[in-house]
Structures are given as structure tokens and as C-alpha cells.
Amino acid sequence: MNLRTVSLRRRVAVSVLLVLFLVLVALVISVDRTFAGQSSKDVDGVLNNAGARAVEMLKNGRRPAEVVGVLTKRNIHVTIELPNGTTVGSAPAEGQFERQVRNVQRNKVTLYADTETISQAQHRLRKLLLILGLAAIGITGALIVVVVRRALAPLDAMTSLAQAIAAGHRGGRLNPSRTDTELGRTAAAFDGMLDSLEGSEQRTRRFVADAAHELRTPITGVQAVAEALVQAPVDSPDRDQMSFLLVREARRAGRLVDDLLALAQLDAGYEMQRESVDLLGLAEAEVSRTRFVAPDFDITAEGVSVAVVGDGQRLAQVLANLVDNARQATGPQGTVRIRVDLTGFTVSDNGPGVPEAERERIFDRLVRLDDARDRRSGGSGLGLAIARGVIRAHGGDLTCEPSDQGAVFRVVLPAVNPVAEPGRV
């Protein structure tokens, strides 16, 4: 998105002045036409009145010369052409006149109205309107500079705050007095964005610090064991044990690095493989894997055979993480059930369960409910965060559901469709 950065003050001022100019032009045209139309009606009224009087006087037997003398005035001229061709009265000289002709008893009565005065008045009116319009535009332009500067003061406050925060001064907020106006809503959204950014920054710093702490433990172990292994005699009976410890700590560090990389990919919006995945088949494969690792462990998969379009490898990783967590929580004598239905799948166990207050926190990064147990098992505290990120990347969600016994993790996926495989239950 490329934001146009034309000066807002200039844009508002030019827009207002343009609107004012158009309004004034429309007003001048309207007034001019109204004045001209009314003047024409007035002239027609004067001519009609003079013509009616001339007709009446001639019908009453008044002499044409007398009629011309009575009706001819400064702005009205009357001529009467007699039947014998003689003209009584003189036509006006060249100029602006409106002419009206009437025939009375074979006499031709011509009336002239002088419109020069009206034209001059109309010209003066146009000139006056033009001067007043330009003066109004000038005064409005000067006032707009002050009004717009005052009206846009909150934007200057936002700019100053943003610059202060960019310079490292955290914690400042606009705190708008009202949030039901345009600027109020913008300021409230600005404050909310700052809260989110600062909260994200704090979480990122804490996560980096925690990740560095988690990496330091296996790396320190690798370093210590490697130094001891180098210094130990070749025939030392402890070399095999130290080699085993070295490999274990290196694998632990590698798993943590892989988890951190997976989180980074989720945050960046990684491209998933798109394929049809049979969830029940995925669950049965996880049961087989777990029984291979722990032959005596009680784990089963049940439900309906349904398919979802997604990344089969990532979904298998989620299911393996949930099953491994359940197996570690219940111990060798525990029970784990995977249930597949038309909306996703559920992994439940008969372990100690998850306290209600912790059901959402366990999905945070580097969180362990049993820190000592997870460290012994090599857990990084990132598995559930990665699992939820993968499921949400598929458009679904992963939650820890309330349960009377044990823990229940529910995975909901969109567009789950039955698989037409007879004999599968």
C-alpha cells in the first residue's frame, strides 16, 4: 500500500476554497439571471401599461399628438403612424431599446423602452458580486489556515508521539477524551496499536531471553562433557557414558533449535503442503508408532474415516506431540484415546489433567506445568505452541477442553469430509 502524502492542510484549504469558488460562481450566475429576468418583466410591464393607456386615449378621441406628448417620458418613447403615412413623434436615437407595436383604429402605435440604464445596473451588479466574491475567497483562505491548523493539531500530537516512541521513549499515549469522533477513534486505535506493539516487543524479548536460557543448558552440557571427554584417558571406563551424555545433550539442543525454527516459520506464514489427509489413518499410524516405542502402553484410535485438505506431515507432528505429552503425563500404565469425528479429532488421557487456570497458558511459548519432568524428557515447552500454530495455519483451532478425569485436547479443522471406505468405522 502506497499512502499519498500530500499536505493535508493544503488539501483541505484548496478543497474548501474550490467549493467556495464554485458556490460563488453559481451564486453570481443565479443572481445575474434573476436580475435580468426581473428587469425584462419590469420593462414589459411598463410597455404594456403605456400601450394600454395609448389605446384608451385614442379610442376616447384624443389627438395623436396629445397622446404622444402625455406618454413620452425619459425612458419611454411613443410614435404614432397615421393612416395617411404621417408619423407623430420621433423614434429614439441608436441605443438599447425594447420595442412594442399596437394597432388602434388604423393607427400604428410604437412604444420604445430604454434598457441602457438596466444594462448599466446589471453590469455594476456583476462587478460588485465579483469584488465581494474575491474578497470572500481571500478572507476565507486566511481563516482556513488558522482553522485547519487548529483542527489538525491532534494529528501533530500523534506525529510527535510516534517520533518520541521511535526515539526510544516508551509508554506515551494520546488518551483521547472522546472516542466517538473520527479523530477520537483514530487516536484510540493508535493507542491500541502502541499497546499491542509494546506488548509484542516485551513478549519477544522475554521469549528470546527464555530461548537463550533453554539453549544454554544443553550447550553447557555439551561443552562440559566434550571437555571431560577430551581430557579423559583413552582407556577410561567413563568414555562410553560421557559419549552417551554428549549425544543426548546435542540432540536436546538440536530439538530446541528445530522447534525455534518451526515457530519462526509459523510466524512468517510458511507455505503448507496441500493434500488430502485421512485423519483416522493418521491416528492409526500414530498408534503404531507409539506401540513400537512403548509396546505395553494402552493407546487406541477410533471414530470415522474423514479427510481434510492440509499438510499431512505437520498434522502428524501435531498428533505425535499431543500423544507424547499424554504418554509422559500418564506414565507407563496410562491410557490414551484418539477419537476422530466429522469436525476433527480429540486426544484424551487418564492422567492428572490440566488445571482450569492453566488450560490456555500451556499454549504459550516455553511454558511447562511440570518443569523437572519436561527437562528430563527433553521437552522444550514449545510443542503445544507449535501444534496450535500449525492447526490455526490450517484454519482450525487447538484447545484444552474441560474434563472430569485426565486431559482432553480438541483439534477442530475446517472442511472435514467423510472418506468413502467401506468397512472403516
Instruction: Name the maximum alpha-carbon separation found in the chain.
Output: 159
Residue 323 grid coordinates: 500423544
Q: Is the pLDDT of residue 52 over 70?
A: yes
Q: Are residues 81 and 218 in the same domain?
A: no
Q: Are residues 240 and 350 in the same domain?
A: no
How many CA atoms does the CB half-sphere of 107 hold within 13 Å?
26
Residue 108 grid coordinates: 400604428
> In CATH, what number is assigned to the domain containing residue 118?
3.30.450
Give this prediction's pTM: 0.52
- Per-residue pLDDT band for 303 (boundaries 50, 70, 90) equals very high
Residue 137 grid coordinates: 475567497
Q: Are residues 256 and 279 in the same domain?
A: no
What's the domain range around 286? 273-418
Compare 72 and 151 and report the one with higher pLDDT: 72
The mean per-residue pLDDT over the stretch 247-274 comes to 76
Number of structural domains (the chain) is 3
pLDDT of 89 reads: 84
Q: Is the pLDDT of residue 306 over 60?
A: yes
> In CATH, what number is assigned to the domain containing residue 296?
3.30.565.10
Rounded to 5 degrees, what are φ and ψ at 90?
-120, 140
Q: Are residues 261 and 336 in the same domain?
A: no
C-alpha span between 244 and 105 (Å, rounded) = 140
Q: Is the pLDDT of residue 367 over 70?
A: no
Ranges of H-type helices in 269-382 = 279-293, 312-330, 371-377
Q: Measure the N-to-C terminal CA separation of the chain; round to a whole number of Å.
A: 51
> In CATH, what number is assigned to the domain containing residue 260?
1.10.287.130
Q: Are residues 245 and 327 in the same domain?
A: no
Q: Are residues 113 and 231 in the same domain?
A: no
Q: State the chain's mean pLDDT as an integer.
A: 82
pLDDT 10s digits, 377-415: 445 578 898 889 889 988 899 999 998 889 999 999 986
Asked if the structure places residue 413 within a domain, the reply is yes
Calculate the alpha carbon distances from 265 to 162, 248, 262, 413, 415 in Å. Answer: 30, 26, 5, 20, 24
Q: Are residues 239 and 337 in the same domain?
A: no
Residues 78 and 89 sit within 8 Å (Cβ to Cβ): yes
End of a domain among 243, 267, 291?
267
Rounded to 5 degrees, what are φ and ψ at 183?
-70, -35
pLDDT of 375 reads: 44
- Per-residue pLDDT band for 424 (boundaries 50, 70, 90) equals very low
End of a domain among 218, 237, 267?
267
pLDDT 10s digits, 352-361: 989 988 888 8
Residue 398 grid coordinates: 487447538
3-state helix, strand, coil in the chain (%, to 5): 60, 15, 25
pLDDT of 319 reads: 94
Q: Are residues 124 and 66 in the same domain?
A: yes
C-alpha span between 216 and 276 (Å, rounded) = 40
Q: Are residues 59 and 39 in the same domain?
A: yes
Q: Are residues 406 and 277 in the same domain?
A: yes
